[in-house]
Amino acid sequence: MAEKDKKVVSVPKTATELQRMKLEKLMKDPNKEILIPEGSREWNPKLPPEFIRNVWGSSAGAGSGDFHVYRGVRRREYARQKFIAEQGEKESQDEAYHNKVLTNQKLAEERTSKKRAKRLKKKQKMLAKKQKIEQEKDKKKSEISRPQGSASDEEESDCEDDDDVEN
């Protein structure tokens, strides 16, 4: 029992050893759930008081302790105003970025549509050319396979068409 109570404590000397120790501890029980903390929330300043009962300042008649209170109130107000200005700037930058992304997507879509149309036109042209070549081959084969008398049949049909024109 005394042997189980004694644990070997190793102190990491470098950052890599610390990382290795953490990984070994995690891998001892892979089924155990790991708590991953959420990121820290964004700081929000306190809202200003709706009505300030005592107006302090560094004017005559203010007590020596009032100046420190005034200074703290002033510092908090400046921090709040700075936060609001930074938040507005961040929102405007986000909006500008979003608009830029949209315009880039539109331009990219236009370019791709133009190129797509060009590819399809070229493909249609090639298909038409292939069909024309196929038709010419079929025509040549049919002319070769026809007997010699068939040429005179064509002349006779042409003569019949001429007769129709004369009437």
Q: Cα–Cα distance between 34 and 128 in angstroms, integer?
A: 64
- CB neighbour class for 66 (10 Å; exposed up to 12, middle 13-18, buried from 19): middle
Average pLDDT, the chain: 82
Using a 10 angstrom Cβ sphere, with 0-12 exposed, 13-18 middle and 19 or more buried, the burial of residue 70 is middle
Q: How confident is the model at residue 41 (pLDDT cuts 50, 70, 90)?
A: confident
Q: What is the pLDDT of residue 167?
A: 47
pLDDT value for 3: 57
Mean pLDDT of the 83-91 span: 95
Joined together, the tokens standing for residue 5 give 């109570």
pLDDT of residue 144: 82
- Please name the residue that has the structure tokens 């990491």: 12
| pLDDT (mean) for 51-75 | 72
Predicted confidence at residue 14, as pLDDT, reads: 92
pLDDT, mean of residues 98-108: 96
Q: Which residue has the higher pLDDT, 64 or 11?
A: 11
Angle CA 70–74–75, to nearest 5 = 115
Tell me how far apart the alpha carbons of residues 56 and 71 are, in angstroms, rounded to a whole number: 9
